Structure 1
């Protein structure tokens, strides 16, 4: 079973995924890294040279290549919910957890991060990015089996909460999981 983490950029997906890996000994797959490695370029370079649609296609291809039966933690990209086929695969292969982080926290994290690392920050500016955040919230809510309010800065606490919620989810009969 996969445990897939979704949420906006800078919501803490990578950090919580690493904490889940430490707690469960499950391998973690950082999807952005897989897409970048497959193309031999950074995420920023893929966006700049080929556009967002090409990156999203790379995400879907990467998910399709991963072993569906493998127990893993997937750190999905912030825009994974823009591709319905990718979202469907995440749901088919396990539990989908939305790290719901307030906009103010996200913006502070993004402002503190290295310049040029997040292509959409540069392309959209803060107003455009906030608008994208607001639109994607509906997509995250629709895709997720449950929401974790990521208002704490403690990734281990979020990981433990995710583990418990995933355990409860996995114990339900298959027809009652969604």
Structure 2
């Protein structure tokens, strides 16, 4: 007899999964704890066993997202060897994420616009995410000025593709990089 070994996600995992979707779709401030609890199918006590508050959930969400996002980016460029290929493929990753998340933009910048400054832990995750992205490009491109320019172009593409809800700015940037920068 075949027995399925698929385990039901634990309450904390369900809460994080539901919160991730709701924060992306509705925004942080428009998503209530009761909605997260209901959609996660967990008891209120279970929610608070894992998260002291919605702010602590935001911290956990951003931490998890940071890890997943960079893992996805690194996997996206892993098979490429030259710095030029890795940079171009990094911008292709933005296009992939836009397609996956319906041009939702950078969840870190989206969250930044909604958080109260007193949520220092979440702000640190956001700043560290952006710093790690800068280091990511400087590790690929050893020229400090070029890597900074590439980082700024990348960030601009994140925002602009969200605003216009298309890939055009990323495609133009890739062409520019191939001709002018790389």
TM-score for the superposition, normalised by structure 1? 0.31
Q: Give 1 or 2 for the bigger CA radius of gyration.
A: 2
Instruction: Give the number of the structure with larger relative contact order, counting CA–CA contacts within 8 Å between residues 6 or more apart.
Output: 1
Structure with the higher helix share, 1 or 2: 2
Structure with the higher strand share, 1 or 2: 1
TM-score for the superposition, normalised by structure 2? 0.31
